[in-house]
Amino acid sequence: MNIDVSVIIPVYNSSKYISETLDSVINQDFNSFELIIVNDGSVDNSLDIIKNTLKDSKIYYTIINQENNGVSHARNVGIENAKGQYVIFVDDDDIIAKNHISCLFENANGNDGSFTEMLKITEKGEIVGDQELYLSIDGKNRISSKDLIKLELTMNIPFSFCQIMYKKELITEKFNENAIYGEDTEFVLKNLINANVLGICPKPTYFYRQRENSATGKADFKRFEIVDIFENLARYYEKNNLNDLAELIITNRIPKAIFGNLMYFFYHDYEFNQLMNVMKQLDLLIKLKNFKGESKFRFKIKLFLLNPKLYYRAWKTFKDGIE
């Protein structure tokens, strides 16, 4: 069988969604792909659902069972077993459009990979994402990998590693198995520097399910570990003579990551003094001052740093007023 694309899905206790995810893969209008499912020690009936869903399908698939070692390890196992020229990733609760693989494959032709837009969906599958968030690439059919990286580092478009079709030979860095937050962002931003140009699908084909109880949805101070991820990435870029990207991380992406998580903790009613103590211990207040991006966001940071307690109270008053 000719395998052009390897589709990797790590699965852990996803009995509620995995059937819908697999159905979206089975119904693709593209045939020359393999499906690699890495069952990461699920203790629910995910594996039974997977087997029942795939048993009558015509797609070529492999199920790899392993002890629970985390999603990064599962994805790395998938990469190691991939036979396709290209690799894509689908999470076990997300959905892909019928033309997801074909669109990415067609636009990867003649390029080093491809990129598609992503929209968010609710737990019930209702679309809540906004395609207008991609106006910066609207009408483009190609983009340099460096420009795509810059769009992520300035947070000008929604960006996920699942939106990329990777040429397997250009994947030189695996997923960081020691990280809890940001390992997927680190993976894509490291491997993208091996590419020159990516094709772009004209319409969204990936649908990310937003779940409050997901690993990334839980409000935990470990979310600040993303700062370490980006600092390591900045050093990685410097070693590869990409000093402009390293600078963009320090002066834009890290402050935005800090402030974004700060607002997240505000929303989840974390105790203010405890939050400030954690930020001081991690020198996050100092790193916020490094921001050199757009004036509106810079103004927000200045207001917060001027009086964090007052900013917090004002934010809470505004939030309570709209609920």
Q: What is the tens place of the pLDDT at every residue in 90-112?
A: 999 999 999 999 999 999 999 99
- Distance, CA of 97 to chain centre: 18
- 97 to 42, 75, 101, 195, 205: CA distances (angstroms): 26, 21, 8, 25, 5
Boundary (domain end) residue, out of 209, 233, 252 = 209
Q: With a cut of 70, say whether residue 217 has pLDDT above it.
A: no
Residue 214 in any domain: the answer is no
Whether residues 156 and 17 share a domain: the answer is yes
φ/ψ (deg, to 5) at 176:
-75, 110
Q: With a cut of 80, say whether residue 320 has pLDDT above it.
A: no
Q: How many helices (H) and strands (E) does the chain have?
A: 13, 11
The two structure tokens encoding residue 285: 């207040």
The two structure tokens encoding residue 2: 């000719």
For residues 204-218, give the mean pLDDT: 73
Task: Give residue 241's domain range.
Answer: 221-322
- Whole-number average pLDDT of the chain: 93
Whether residues 144 and 227 share a domain: the answer is no
pTM exceeding the 0.85 threshold for the entire prediction:
yes
Note the pLDDT tens digit of each residue in 119-175. 998 888 788 877 788 999 988 999 999 999 999 999 999 999 999 999 999 999 999
Note the pLDDT tens digit of each residue in 15-74. 999 999 999 999 999 999 999 999 999 999 999 999 999 998 999 999 999 999 999 999
Whether residues 9 and 151 share a domain: the answer is yes
Boundary (domain end) residue, out of 184, 209, 234 = 209
Domain count, the chain: 2
Whether residues 229 and 187 share a domain: the answer is no
Give the per-residue pLDDT at 128. Answer: 82
Boundary (domain end) residue, out of 188, 209, 230 = 209
Q: What is the dihedral of CA 283, 310, 312, 309, to 10 degrees?
A: 40
